[in-house]
Every structure is written in C-alpha cells, then in structure tokens.
Amino acid sequence: MKCALIGEKLGHSFSKEIHEALGKYEYEHIELTPDEVEPFISKREFNGLNITIPYKQSVMPLLDEISETAREIGAVNTIVNRNGRLIGYNTDYGGMKLLIERTGINLSGKKVFIAGTGGTSSTAAKICQNLGASEVVIASRSGRNGALRYEDSYRMHGDAALLINTTPAGMHPDTDSVPIMLDCFTQAEGVVDVIYNPMQTRLIREAREKGIRAENGLYMLVAQAVLASKLFTGESTDEIETVAATKAEAAAETKTAAERNTVAATAVPTEEIQKTIEGIYKELIKKKRSIVLTGMPRSGKSTLGKMLAEKLGRELVETDEEIVAEAGMPIAQIFSKYGEEHFRDIESRIIKKVSQRSGLVISTGGGAVLRKENVDSLRMNGIIVFLDRSLEKLLPSRSRPLADTAEKIRRLYEERLPIYIKTADVRVKIEGTEEQSLERIMGVLE
C-alpha cells in the first residue's frame, strides 16, 4: 500500500512520522506545484492521500465521489483510491473536534472567533456550530468572501469565548507573527491554534501568559492522521464512523446531513482510536520537544547536556560555543572588546536560530534567560529545565567575565535565582554524582 501527503511546502510537516508510527503502510511527502496536482492525481498511482495547504479545495473537482461531510465543509484532506475510484473525505473534522474538546470549553450558547477563510476555517466553523455555539465569526485581513476584517471583528466581537487560528501566521519560519490580538478579547476562555511547528506559537505563549487555556495543532494533526489511516486500510468507509463509536441504529436513524454531523460532533471516540491518538501524540511531543538547560555558570549544563544528549541520541547545541564561533573570539574577549550588550545581542540571535529546530538538547549560557525574547524563543519548541546547583558548589571561571570571582558568583546567584525559577518549566537539584543528577533530569522529562 502506497500513501502520501501532498502539498506545496512540506518541510515543516510531521505527517510522515505519524503515519509510519501506525506501521500499516508506506508513507511519503510529495511537494507539488499547482500545475502538478491534477496530473499527479489523474494517474491514480496511490492507495491513499492526505491533502494539505493549498490544495484541500482545488482537488475536489478531480474526484469521483466526495463524502457529505467534506462536501458540506467544502474541503477534502483525505483521498482513498478504491478500485480506481477516488473518494474524498474530511478527517480534519474529527481531528479539529477532538482538539477543540481538549480546551475543556462548553461551546453551548457561546461565541467563537475564527481567523482565516480556508478549508480548515470552514471545518472549524461547522464543528463549532454543531457543538452549539451561538455565533461563529470568521475574519481575515481582506474581509473578502463574507468574512469580516480583523479591525471590525475586534470592535464588534470582543466577547468571543473561543478563538481559533486557521491561518499560517506564526508558522515556521515566520515565528514572530501573531494572527489574533488577544487584548481585544476580554472574555476569551480558550485559544486553539492549528499550527504545530513551532509547538508553542507566539499566540499560544501569549494566551498562556494571560491564563487562557490554549492548545496547538499537533493533537489535531495526529487525530486526523489516525482517522485517515482507518480509511486508507478499509477499516472504515465513512469519516463519521472514524470520529466516534455510535450505535449502528442511531447512525441509521439520522436522515439528514445535519443530523449526521450532529451525531459525529457529540459522540465519544472509540477507546481504541483514543488510545492510538494519545499514544502517538505523547511520543511525538517527547521526540520533537527540545530540552533546554539553564542555570548559573559551572552548574553542570555542558557536562550534563553531553550526557543527556548521548543517552537520548540527540544533538547537543551549546549556545556559548555557537557565540564564540560566530564572533571568532573567546567570550572574555567579546566582553572586553565590545561589552556585555554586544555579547547579549549575539546570544539572542543564536538562541532564536537554534530554537527554530526541534528535538535538540540545548545548553544555554548563564545569562540567557535575562532577556524575555530569549525565553520566548526557547519555549517555542522546548521545555526549560533549571539546573539548580547550590551556591557553595559554584566555582569561579576565568572564561566567564561575570563569574570569575567568588564574590561575583554570589551576586549573580542572588540576582538570577528568582529569574531562573520563574522562567523554568521544571527545576532539578544538582547534587551527588553526575549520574544521579542525570537520573533526576530524566525523571522530570517523563
């Protein structure tokens, strides 16, 4: 069985890893230009396809049959070749539904704001309507095709309870972009961002800083892939069946498409499907999430970073080494020749660049967390682990101008300890042998 993902740019996609984790068929990524899509599909040399931006709507005229859900939404993300007939489905419906439910928000009688007007936006709108939202507002920069312009929607619909981003704003490599102005929504209870690379977009970070529940698109990606796999293998022939286990008689009694969508929107996933989704999702998080080590100079970041990288089979990146390589001189010389501010500027550039990647062990300099922009960058794809070595165990180093005497180390420790604690996701006490410290780090990463 040959299956694949087709789209215009797929360098950011995790789909191949997800489908290979299912272990049921060969799967590859195929990048196509708009002119190449029709000839590729017309050859029918595949068993199943997933479709992503920007072809979810343009593939529809090329198919022999389209499911009712996909037709109503106006987008296809899954194509199955059944004995030469191409049938289009929309498993994004089930994936998006499960993602929205992860926020824990009951949408009944509440307003939803959706940024973007593509196929994913249509899917989100349909789900929210079926889940009982009182109003679904769709906005875009241009305001075309019936959407509101952002500035108008902010003014008129600041009472939305759930905000959903279906645009590429904030996606790698444009990670500084934010599609929704959160300050305009005074009653927001949750944020859903369909972007999964980076794992924490700027929108997600800002929402969590405000205490708003926020979910990225990785869970949706995994869920829709698992649902698509059921169609590829013939375990299901209807995307509503892949969304949830409902009694056969209940499904048979629903006469209209609207009734069938309501069944799909309110049903509970089968235990087997839910278990598969959760398992792949958790493993993917572990694999893709970088481990960022912070702490005082001589706290063990380099040594433990090397040990951790070796144990996990990951690449180690030491930001201080990257700074030295870029500057062409030791850190002490950078300080003496150009000053600390120049050093910090180089450090921020290096951290931003490194943080775009995933699955690394990153050992940072002692002052890396002093700038919020660095912490934001490191959180995009990483978990920040503060290595807390006691003051009496921190020794001076001639290579560190700010920590080359015991007195300087004491002052730094007192100044920075609250910052290390505040910016860390987890705190690990560094004491005993290196092996014991490594074991404690591994323990908090489980």
The structural domains of the chain, ordered by start, are: 289-445 (3.40.50.300)
- Which tens digits make up the pLDDT trace of 70-124? 999 999 999 999 999 999 999 999 999 999 999 999 999 999 999 999 888 999 9
Share of the chain above pLDDT 90, in %: 81
Predicted TM-score (pTM) of this structure: 0.87
Q: Is the distance from CB of 100 to CB of 163 less than 8 angstroms?
A: no
Q: Is the distance from CB of 162 to CB of 113 less than 8 angstroms?
A: yes
The residues, ordered by sequence, that sit 6+ positions from 275 with a Cβ below 8 Å of its Cβ are: none
The residues, ordered by sequence, that sit 6+ positions from 309 with a Cβ below 8 Å of its Cβ are: 315, 316, 361
The pLDDT of 164-193, averaged and rounded, is: 95
253 vs 224, residue with greater confidence:
224
Three-state secondary structure call for residue 28: strand
Which residue type occupies 291?
A: I
Q: Is the distance from CB of 183 to CB of 241 less than 8 angstroms?
A: no
> How many CB atoms lie under 10 A from the CB of residue 359?
16
Q: Is the distance from CB of 289 to CB of 379 less than 8 angstroms?
A: no
158 CA to centre of own chain: 25
pLDDT category of residue 236 using cuts at 50, 70 and 90:
confident
Report the alpha-carbon distance of residue 367 to residue 32 in Å, rounded: 44
**Would you please indicate which residues are annotated as catalytic (active-site) residues?**
56
